[in-house]
Chain A
Amino acid sequence: MTTHPHPRGPKPSRLSGGQIGLYAFLILSALFFLLPLYTMLVTSLKSMEEIRQGHIFALPATIDFDAWKTAWSGACMGTQCLGVRVGFWNSVKITVPAVVISVFIGAINGYALSLWRPKGSNLLFGLLMAGGLIPYQIFLYPLVRLLANLSLYNSVAGVVLVHVIFGLPLVTLLFRNYFVAIPEELCKAARVDGAGFWCIFLEIMLPMSVPMVVVASIFQFTGIWNDFLIGLVFAGRDNLPMTVQLNNIVNTTMGERAYNVNMAATILTAVVPLAIYFFSGRWFLRGVAAGAVKG
């Protein structure tokens, strides 16, 4: 009976040398990945005096939220001192409609291309896939002229349109692959019952594809929120998204750099996609994986 392990005794040690090495490696890697975020956070909570004295990895002596307030509503971009707040709302105005429209059109495309296959479907799909691979620089100048002729250049609507167009390849692909796996009989049965193209889409296919709608929306949302190039070229001075504003605030300030304000502004810019990442968990992963294995 004495050999019976005591239920409250210490766990048997199974930490071999290899295990210790493994954890050491993981912890060091975690520190490497966390260090930049930590640095930003502590610096944003310091006063400029403290930044001038101490080194950047030290914890703040006194926690000071002033930099966050300045970053949000007072940081200067050129002569304007309105903070990243302006850019935040511009990003919202650009991202929300762009995501909704591109996911909706992508779903229709995927549905039409996989279950209906009208004439030229393969050609269109091939064009989209090729278009998705080509560097944006070749489209930019003519597209600027095109949008200027349509009076959409330097407007939110223009940026949204460009995001939708450049988002189509991937969103279409996601939905096409999703709908291809749905048995064709389902569609045929509905057709026999007299349902048409739109009726089948809205009442059967769209409700069935909610998981893909979520994945595609997360994918598009983080992508468009993080965009820099399209916002820079097409938005115009009054509608610059947060990423462009942030870069302008940080890289064009005159005189001494307000590191604490800059870092607070940087965190504010990253907060939305990070929140999506932390709260959507599995869905974010599925979006990332779907984007990665498009092959």
Chain B
Amino acid sequence: MQAKRRRSLAATFALLPTWIAAIFVYIGTMVWSVRLSFTDSTIFPSSNYVGFAQYARLFKNSRWLASLENVLIFGVLYVAGCLALGFVLAAALDRKVRFESAFRTIFLYPYAMSFVVTGLIWQWMLNPTLGIQATVRALGWQGFVFDWIVNRDMAIYTVVFAGVWQGAGLVMVIALSGMRGIGEEQWKAAQIDGIPVWRIYLSIILPQLGPALAASGMLLSMGVIKTYDLIVAQTGGGPGYSTEVPAKFIMDNLFERQNLGLASAGATVLVLSVVMAVAPFRYALAIRARRRGAH
């Protein structure tokens, strides 16, 4: 008994730094931020509670509303784009092509690079006076216009471009490894039935990859809410605030505009939206796990 207790003491001791991090950083700072969101703090934290006033201010702020709309457009198109392109690339590579590993390397390399680098690269490629537009005009099509990055209505789509370029390779890797796990028998059976190859991928392979693709979709979505450096590097939130996102709005108000209360309210909204997005998913997983345990 004595010996057993000493041993578990060592294990408890080993977890101590992590406990401290979890309690003070994860819980402590979060509670602190939520509290700040109910005060009128500007540069310095104040203890003057104003109820939901900061939240009311937040949702009257056109810049915040624009950032929500932008992150929604970006998020949906970015996740859908990565999943679709990644799946198609994986299916193409699954067709026993030559130089498969070279193609794979090319499709995944952007994923190794930072969002800052990705943003800067695409900023140059899309620069109308220098990049694709200028090149096509130099070839003779003087009227060619591709100025999305400086166009208020289109700039957010250029960020999607860069995001998909960066993230599609990840989905390809996951989908390809899933496809390799599917048995030959299914292929043979489907081919005997005369089903065309593209139908096999769409109706037979895709459903089986569902869980893996859902997991990568989840991962990409988590990244969407954190999106900050890609925007800062590629567009700086502009033109105007047509590519502003919540993470950047919060950072600006926190460190440049000295709007501590407002920024904290924004951060709290962000956390709540993550909880609302993740909770049903977690709940479903827990139920499924329990059911599986019961069988």
Q: Which residues of B contact A152 (CB under 8 A)?
A: none
| A36 and B111 alpha carbons, distance in the complex (Å) | 13
B114 lies within 8 A of A228 (CB): yes
Could you say which of A2-10, A74-82, A133-141, A177-185 contacts chain B?
A: A133-141
**Interface residue from B11, B21, B232 paired with A118 (Cβ < 8 Å):** B11
What is the predominant secondary structure among interface residues of chain B facing chain A?
Answer: helix
**Interface residue from B34, B130, B169 paired with A259 (Cβ < 8 Å):** B130
Q: Which residues of B contact A105 (CB under 8 A)?
A: 17-18
Given A124-B15, A168-B18, CB of A276 within 8 Å of CB of B30 = no
B267 CB, min distance to chain A CBs, angstroms: 4
Q: Which residues of B contact A285 (CB under 8 A)?
A: 108, 173
Which residue on chain B has the smallest CB distance to residue A164? Answer: B21
Q: Which residues of A contact B17 (CB under 8 A)?
A: 105
| A119 and B117 alpha carbons, distance in the complex (Å) | 45
Q: Which residues of B contact A136 (CB under 8 A)?
A: 226
B135 lies within 8 A of A56 (CB): yes
Q: Which residues of B contact A197 (CB under 8 A)?
A: 7, 10-11, 14
Could you say which of B57-65, B87-95, B200-208 contacts chain A?
A: B87-95
**A100 near B: Cβ within 8 Å?**
no
B225 lies within 8 A of A135 (CB): yes
B277 CB, min distance to chain A CBs, angstroms: 9
| A243 and B8 alpha carbons, distance in the complex (Å) | 43
Which residue on chain B has the smallest CB distance to residue A195? Answer: B7
A35 lies within 8 A of B125 (CB): yes
| A138 and B236 alpha carbons, distance in the complex (Å) | 21
B111 lies within 8 A of A288 (CB): yes
**B-contacting residues, A1-55, CB 8 Å:** 18, 22-23, 25-26, 29-30, 32-37, 39-40, 43, 55
A198 lies within 8 A of B10 (CB): yes
B8 lies within 8 A of A32 (CB): no
**B49 near A: Cβ within 8 Å?**
no
| A121 and B218 alpha carbons, distance in the complex (Å) | 26
- State the total of A-B contacts with C-beta under 8 angstroms: 248
A33 lies within 8 A of B106 (CB): yes
**B222 near A: Cβ within 8 Å?**
yes
Q: Which residues of B contact A294 (CB under 8 A)?
A: 215, 219
| A109 and B11 alpha carbons, distance in the complex (Å) | 9
What does the 1/0 interface line of B47-79 toward A look like (CB < 8 Å)? 000000000000000000000000000000000
Which residue on chain B has the smallest CB distance to residue A229? Answer: B228
| A227 and B228 alpha carbons, distance in the complex (Å) | 11
**Interface residue from B26, B28, B34, B125 paired with A36 (Cβ < 8 Å):** B125
What does the 1/0 interface line of B74-105 toward A look like (CB < 8 Å)? 00000000000000010011010100000101
B26 lies within 8 A of A130 (CB): yes
Given A39-B125, A142-B32, A226-B114, CB of A289 within 8 Å of CB of B285 = no
A196 lies within 8 A of B18 (CB): no
A56 lies within 8 A of B173 (CB): no
**B254 near A: Cβ within 8 Å?**
yes
Q: Which residues of A contact B105 (CB under 8 A)?
A: 278
Q: Which residues of A contact B23 (CB under 8 A)?
A: 127
**A94 near B: Cβ within 8 Å?**
no
Q: Which residues of B contact A148 (CB under 8 A)?
A: none
10 contacts between A and B (CB under 8 A): A22-B97, A26-B89, A127-B23, A134-B30, A134-B271, A138-B29, A139-B30, A141-B260, A226-B117, A247-B229
With A259-B124, A289-B174 given, can you name 7 additional A-B contacts, CB distance below 8 Å? A18-B197, A29-B89, A119-B12, A128-B22, A138-B271, A168-B21, A292-B219
